[in-house]
Amino acid sequence: MKLSATLLIATLAFLLSGTVSAQPSWPTSITWVGYTFSNNTAVQDPQDVKTNKSEFDLVFETAAPYTVQVAASSTHVFFRLQVREMTTWTVGTYLLFISDNSGAVLGKVYLTLSGNAGEIHVVNASGSVDQMTGSGSHTSNIGGWARFSSVGGSSTHEYVDFQLPRTVFESVLGVTGQIQIKFYAGTSTGAGNVNNINTDWMTSSTSSVPTAADFGSLSPATVSGIVLGVLPVELTSFSAYLKANLVELRWNTATEKNNFGFEIERGTADGDWMSIGFVAGFGNSNSPKNYHFEDAVDGLSGTVSYRLKQIDRDGTIDYSSIVMVSVDAASGMSITDAYPNPFNPTTTVNFTLTESANVRLSLYDMTGREVKTVLENTLLDAGSHAQTINAEGLASGRYFLLLQTPSARSMYPLLLSK
């Protein structure tokens, strides 16, 4: 089992050079994963009809209905796009935009063909990093980086496969095995036309660059999950709540495969992680499961971080996203928790005041822009308070609450997932 919880993408620590890695070899066996919508329906070109004979268009063969497939190993990521009646290389570009689970574009990967040569690139969202990962002539299948392969049982369809190093894919785009990703495919009959491809998107959009809404119905995946040949979103929630001197952790799974259990880890002051407990998993399950764990926080102060270390029966491990809870009431007030979190579109925030005060409670996005004022200079008595927040109209993504009095302030992270 692999956890598929969204993480906040950190700023890239380095930029890769423009050198091309050594010529690869295709694995003898690749576990291709069919690309689906959120309802598990196979992704197909919405413009595809049986009479469509355009060689460069993405299509599907009913015996192999996925228009787009992906695969991964410990060293490479592989992409497969299905075409009709294309047995020789045709000038043009195959493009996949890649987003995180909230629909924020991380960048793109593409195979572009011109004359007798082809190149494969990874480009970050801003375009400041454009890393060529493979090149070569058409006759040598782009130097071993790209190839034609057969669609089983079909005499009219082919796959265009291309690969790139996983380290480049993850570093340039800010993708790791724990970040959910979505693919959004298109093609162009004009070589290098990677910013104006509007005929083969896997939804009805005709924009040259997809929006968060375009990604909304597409199934997320993680690189680690693709390696296993699965695309489940198994960890559906993970939250922390403060109750007196106990932090209660709650998490849910949708499915489980070979799940030995969860080791609970708490962040330390020096940035390391320590194990504080273990909860056994259900092993294999196709139904939702609920878990909880309590941590005594006597003597702790400030914001405490937690994560789950999920362990498979074969010893494979993966980590969840990080949740945080404030356990410091010395400042005179503190946000203790918000439930549910992730939420859509409402959540209830709980906070405490040690003395009567005028309170301001507001919601900010990750750029620091205030997007909603919940309470404005509201006089509240000392004690515990609960306030419901409605984020209708806001885009999916990470936000933070800011609770302020004239003498103190407290922050709390939220995840809006529509």
For 42-91, what is each residue's pLDDT tens digit?
787 766 554 555 567 788 877 777 889 898 887 889 999 988 777 778 88
Q: Report which secondary-structure segment, H or E, holds 148.
A: strand 146-150
Q: What are phi and psi of 262, to 5 degrees?
A: -120, 125
* 10 occurs within a structural domain: no
State the CATH number of the domain containing residue 310. 2.60.40.10
The pLDDT value given to residue 13: 24
Higher model confidence: residue 34 or residue 136?
A: 136
**Phi, psi (rounded to 5 degrees) for 142:** 55, 50
The closest of 131, 289, 122, 319 to 224, measured between CA atoms, is: 319
31 vs 327, higher pLDDT: 31
* Span 101-124, average pLDDT: 91
Q: Say if residue 123 is in the same domain as residue 184.
A: yes
Highest mean pLDDT among 60-64, 140-144, 175-179: 140-144
Same domain, 305 and 366: no
Flag whether 15 is in a domain.
Answer: no
Tell me, what's the pLDDT at 55? 62
Neighbours of 390 (CB within 10 A): 12
Count the neighbouring beta carbons within 10 Å of the beta carbon of residue 332: 16
Is pLDDT at 176 greater than 90 in this prediction? Answer: no
Residue 61 amino acid letter? E
Looking at residue 61, what DSSP letter applies? B
Shared-domain flag, residues 390 and 277: no
Distance CA 293, CA 277 (A): 8
Q: Residue 6: pLDDT above 50? A: no
Instruction: Give the residue, 110 or 288, on which the prediction is more confident.
Output: 110
Residues 161 and 43 in one domain: yes
Q: List beta partners, residue 92.
A: 113
Structure tokens at 245: 């001197």
pLDDT reported for residue 9: 22
Q: How far apart are CA 121 and CA 135, in angstroms?
A: 9
Which of 353, 348, 317, 321 has the alpha carbon at shortest distance from 334? 353
User: How many Å apart are CA 194 and CA 110, to the nearest integer?
Assistant: 8
Give the CATH number, domain containing residue 350. Answer: 2.60.40.1930
Q: Which two tokens stand for residue 50?
A: 């049986």
So what's the pLDDT on residue 14? 26
- Given 280, 305, 328, the domain boundary residue is 328
**Integer Cα distance of 153 and 322 in angstroms:** 46
Radius of gyration, CA atoms only, the chain: 24
Instruction: Using CA atoms of 81, 84, 87, 92 in order, give the dihedral in degrees to the nearest 10.
Output: -60
Residue 168, pLDDT score: 93
Mean pLDDT of 207-217: 80
Q: How far apart are CA 265 and CA 273, in angstroms?
A: 6
At residue 246, φ and ψ (nearest 5 deg) are: -120, 140
Domain boundary among 183, 203, 227: 227
Which strands form 383-390's sheet, in the order they lie side by side? 333-339, 346-353, 383-390
Q: Average pLDDT in the 88-95 region?
A: 85
Q: Is 11 among the domain residues?
A: no
The side-by-side arrangement of strands in the sheet containing 76-84 is: 33-34, 68-72, 76-84, 157-165, 146-150
| pLDDT for res 171 | 93
Terminal C-alpha separation, the chain? 24
Tokens representing residue 113 in the block: 């063909």
- Nearest by Cα to 395 from 369, 356, 358, 359: 369
Give the residue from 303, 328, 353 where a domain finishes. Answer: 328
Q: 302 and 339: one domain? A: no
Question: Is residue 15 within 8 Å of residue 233, measured between CB atoms?
Answer: no
Tokens of 16: 């890769």
Q: Two tokens at 373?
A: 């004022």
**pLDDT score recorded for residue 10:** 23
Amino acid at 405: T
Rounded to 5 degrees, what angle do the CA atoms 194, 195, 199 make?
80
pLDDT of residue 260: 84
Domain identity same for 38 and 163: yes
Q: Tell me whether residue 23 is in a domain.
A: no
Same domain, residue pair 315 and 337:
no
More confident residue, 231 or 368: 368
Domain housing 106:
33-227
**Do 56 and 202 share a domain, yes or no?**
yes
Domain shared by 254 and 401, yes or no: no
Assigned domain for 1 exists: no
Number of structural domains the chain divides into: 3
Q: 3-state class of 227 per DSSP?
A: helix
Weakest mean pLDDT among 25-34, 96-105, 317-326: 317-326
334 touches 352 (CB < 8 A): yes
Residue-wise pLDDT tens digits, 360-405: 999 998 777 899 999 999 998 887 788 889 898 898 888 888 888 8
Q: What is the mean pLDDT of the chain?
A: 79
**Residues 316 and 336 both lie in one domain:** no
Pairing of strands 323-326, 117-124: unpaired
Mean pLDDT of 407-418: 81
pLDDT of 331 higher than 60 = no
Q: Are residues 309 and 354 in the same domain?
A: no
189 and 217 inside one domain: yes
The answer to whether residue 97 sits within a structural domain is yes
Predicted TM-score (pTM) of this structure: 0.53
pLDDT above 90 as % of the chain: 19
- Alpha-carbon distance of 79 to 193, in angstroms, equals 19
pLDDT at 53: 52
21 falls within a domain: no
User: What does the pLDDT look like over 241-280, one tens digit per residue?
Assistant: 777 678 888 888 877 777 888 999 998 766 778 999 999 9
Would you say residue 417 lies in a domain? yes
Question: What pLDDT sits at residue 294?
Answer: 93
